[in-house]
Amino acid sequence: VYYCQRYLVSEAKLRDYLGTRLYREVEDAEERAAMADHIPAIAARLAEAGLVDDREAASSKLRSALRAGYSTSAAVNNAARSSHVDRQIVEAQLASALGEALPEMDDEDRDPAEEGARMAGLALKRARRGPFRSGGGDEKTTTRDINWLLRRGFRFDDIRKAMQVDLDDINDS
């Protein structure tokens, strides 16, 4: 109960946590196996009590990934994996999470084709990278910033638009 009150967890994440604690704290294999049978029932009872919520846990991880500068597809993958929730549940939370995590993206007249470039630009701005770097940049820092965005799941066309550079001028180093 303490863990559920302290953290937003999904039912599967709670089962995993309880299994880990049980393995770490109980040495006898027979006793551990007997106690492990009770873990799914405990997780289900805490879910019924409202202390465990798959949708809220997924939404929390999704908002965190979006604020950290990940693309929507990478953020959904990270949130599904880290909260132990199905991808469909996370995708259902995407619209509200985008509005909460990135209020700058909440325009009615936004172009879906430009959404990736705009999100990449916001990620650069929040991290003070690319054109938002305070000390200026050179070819090496530009390459690092491009690779940083690539690791966060952005498409190359979106990165080019967000970085406001002609990528043909940058060496492949």
Helix (H, G, I), strand (E, B) or coil at 125: helix
16-74 confidence digits (pLDDT tens): 999 999 999 999 999 999 999 999 999 999 999 999 999 999 999 999 999 999 999 99
The pLDDT assigned to 171 comes to: 47
Q: Which runs of consecutive H residues, i.e. helices, occur in 49-101?
A: 54-67, 72-83, 87-92, 94-101
Structure tokens at 149: 């965005």
Can you state the percent helix, strand and coil of the chain, rounding each to 5?
70, 0, 30
Distance CA 25, CA 56 (A): 29
Statement: residue 135 has pLDDT above 90: no
H-assigned helices in 8-53: 11-25, 29-36, 39-48
Characterise 71 by phi-psi region: left (phi > 0), alpha (psi -120 to 50), beta (else). beta
Coil, strand or helix: which one is 133?
coil
- Measure CA 21 to chain center: 25
